[in-house]
């Protein structure tokens, strides 16, 4: 994806004062944050994928919590940054007529300043879709792409340094490489002095966690359809040497046709294969959420990201068919004990033996025995088949032993 030169947008209102609000960190009323440097623009070809970036709120309980009320509309304007007094204009004749104050202009909010910047590139900022500790996501209309998109707005002031210097550049580089119907891809990225804007397609039908909350446990046929989309996507980016390292239901989106799309590659890493030896590199960075993390990550040892992704996939399938999480991540010590034991299935959940068998083989603590993508695709549940019967009535008796020849 080649870098595109962009002319500096025109200044709005001639104001150089910076503004702050609780919703979006500071952006100058000038479209390029008041700096003399032009914004950096990265462009990528347009793909029909969707994205909705939601913050990771920390430890999830084994039972999926009720949905939070959705937020929409403009960002809060309760904390205006421009506190300069309004100018007054004199009216009437010079014979002592009373001076009246002109109507005060409404203070410009951070939403307004971000909207002004994005308008320079053909985006009309809309309702809020999600909010994290240092990023916010809003829907927008795009004249360039001629459809609604999602814009992730990242505050450089609030984001951790290692995210800005390590994880975010990796995410952008990974997104530029993805060209698959079940993977999110980057439409455009805009960088200013105080913010980074990532433009991706909108997830019209939300994420998988919301879907499960609304509808409960999935029948096998529905779960299988989404699971096949997921495995196809993982097989694709693993083949590119990319590992996700944060696979979870919140990061699996549903497009307008309810096709599953893997999103949020914020912890992804590429170049996982050593070109000289052909062997996969091990990672040592803890990534992802406790509830979806494999034992090797929880124990803090070097791990193979492709095998770690498989564990997360096992947790996702468990959640699909049971509408609950397999492990309690409220206590790390308890979680470490749970992940080292065979996964437990509640007797109240109607989960088929085939689904249980596949889940158990993905949630094996030993990385040497854990299923691979190839194993998953060959499993009977994935193919829509039944487990081989072990009933005595169905077992064909062995043939009688061959008698040795009489000499």
Q: Are 149 and 62 in contact (CB under 8 A)?
A: no
Question: Among candidates 357, 359, 250, 240, which has minimal Cα distance to 305?
Answer: 240
Residues in the chain: 407
Q: Per the residue annotation, which of 33, 51, 112, 246 is the catalytic one?
A: 246
Q: Any idea which residue has 């397609």 for tokens?
A: 201
H-only helix segments in 52-150: 110-119
Q: Any idea which residue has 């080292």 for tokens?
A: 340
Structure token digits, residue 290:
């406790």
Alpha carbon distance 275, 277 (integer Å): 6
Q: What is the largest CA-CA distance in the chain?
A: 143
Structure token digits, residue 32:
């390029």
Known catalytic residue: 393?
no
H-only helix segments in 90-249: 110-119, 161-162, 168-177, 208-215, 220-239
CA 80 to chain CA centroid, Å, is: 31
Active site residues: 246
């Amino acid at each position: 994806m080649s870098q595109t030169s962009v002319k500096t947008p025109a200044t709005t209102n001639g104001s150089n004062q910076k503004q702050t609000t609780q919703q979006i960190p500071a952006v100058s009323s000038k479209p390029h944050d008041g700096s003399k440097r032009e914004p950096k623009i990265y462009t990528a070809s347009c793909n029909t994928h969707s994205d909705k970036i939601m913050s990771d709120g920390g430890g999830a309980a084994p039972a999926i919590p009720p949905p939070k009320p959705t937020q929409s509309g403009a960002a809060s304007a309760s904390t205006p940054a421009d506190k300069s007094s309004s100018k007054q204009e004199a009216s009437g004749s010079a014979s002592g007529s009373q001076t009246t104050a002109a109507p005060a202009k409404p203070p410009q909010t951070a939403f307004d300043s971000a909207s002004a910047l994005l308008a320079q590139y053909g985006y009309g900022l809309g309702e809020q879709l999600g909010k994290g500790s240092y990023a916010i996501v809003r829907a927008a209309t795009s004249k360039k792409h001629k459809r609604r998109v999602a814009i992730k707005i990242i505050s450089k002031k609030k984001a951790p340094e290692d995210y800005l210097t390590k994880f975010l550049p990796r995410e952008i580089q990974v997104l530029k490489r993805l060209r698959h119907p079940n993977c999110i891809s980057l439409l455009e990225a805009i960088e200013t002095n105080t913010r980074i804007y990532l433009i991706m397609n909108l997830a019209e039908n939300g994420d998988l966690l919301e879907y499960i909350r609304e509808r409960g446990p999935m029948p096998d046929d529905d779960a299988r359809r989404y699971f096949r989309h997921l495995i196809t996507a993982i097989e694709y980016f693993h083949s590119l040497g990319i590992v996700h390292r944060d696979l979870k239901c919140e990061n699996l989106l549903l497009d307008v046709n309810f096709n599953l799309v893997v999103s949020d590659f914020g912890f992804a890493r590429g170049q996982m294969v050593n070109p000289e030896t052909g062997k996969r590199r091990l990672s040592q960075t803890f990534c992802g959420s406790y509830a979806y993390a494999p034992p090797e990550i929880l124990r803090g040892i070097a791990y193979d990201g492709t095998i770690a992704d498989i564990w997360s996939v096992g947790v996702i399938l468990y959640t699909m068919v049971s509408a609950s999480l397999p492990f309690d991540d409220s206590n790390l010590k308890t979680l470490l004990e749970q992940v080292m034991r065979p996964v437990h299935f509640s007797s109240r959940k109607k989960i088929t033996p085939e689904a249980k068998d596949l889940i158990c083989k993905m949630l094996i603590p030993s990385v040497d025995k854990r299923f691979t993508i190839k194993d998953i695709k060959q499993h009977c549940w994935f193919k829509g088949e039944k487990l081989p019967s072990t009933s005595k009535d169905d077992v064909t008796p062995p043939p009688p032993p061959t008698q040795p020849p009489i000499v």
